[in-house]
Amino acid sequence: MEFLSQAKKFGVRSLLLQGLTFLSVLTSAFMIWKGLSLFTNSESPVVVVLSGSMKPAYDRGDILFLHNGFSPIEVGEVVVYKLNDKPIPIVHRVMKVHTENESGEQYLLTKGDYNNADDRGLYSPGQMWIQRDEIIGRVKGFVPYAGMGTIWMNDYPHLKLVLLGTLCILSLFSND
């Protein structure tokens, strides 16, 4: 047990300090992500496009930057939404908006630019409209094809191991 011997030699404090240095890296990354998430009011402010249904505007592999905020959605905005029982977010354009007069509740119909039909075929059975709270965010910016690496690593899981292995080997050769 390597760190028990280190603990005896240098004390618990030195272990805690090392732990702190290491954990600070992880926690600051997570906190920055969370902070961005809270600022945009979006559960995932950066997403990768998985299909070509929004061509020619967005193609598979594009990275999208989202901002949700609290304001009502307007027709023509490109939004990312997640249906309650499906894990994969979809990025399409809003075609129709109905707003209830009293509550301000919105009912939205979306369609991918490259698709022939609207999204009612994708919604849950019986669902004709999506709600404002199913929207993860509106697209505010994008980087074309920058997300292809993520897609490859999902399609070919052993690529993750190759990447991890390369990083480990490189870190062995670095000076510090």
Partner 1 sequence: MAIAESRQSKVVVNTSSAGELKAACDTGLKEFLKERGYEEMHTHTDVKLVLGYVGIIFCAIDFAYSWKYPFSQTKWFSYISVSVYAVTSALALVYSYVVQRDTFFVGYNKAKGHIVSAGSRTKRNEPTYRLTLTTRPIRGRQDPPVYNSKPLEMKQPFAAWFHDDGEFARQKFNSDVDAAIDALLAKKAE
Residue 152 near residue 159 (C-beta atoms within 8 A): yes
d(Cα 60, Cα 147) in Å, to the nearest integer?
8
CB of 23 vs partner 1, minimal distance in Å: 5
Q: Which of 3, 18, 23, 162 binds partner 1 (CB under 8 A)?
A: 23
Q: By CB under 8 A, what part of segment 122-161 binds partner 1?
A: 133
Using rule CB under 8 A, residue 34 touches partner 1: yes
CB of 1 vs partner 1, minimal distance in Å: 19
CB of 162 vs partner 1, minimal distance in Å: 27
Q: How far is CA 176 from the centre of its chain?
A: 33
Per-residue contact track with partner 1, 35 to 64, x per CB under 8 A?
A: x-xx----x---------------------
Question: Could you tell me the strand order of the sheet in which 78-81 lies?
Answer: 46-48, 63-67, 135-143, 78-81, 90-99, 106-111, 130-131
Q: How far is CA 129 from the centre of its chain?
A: 23
- The residues assigned a catalytic role are 53, 92, 119
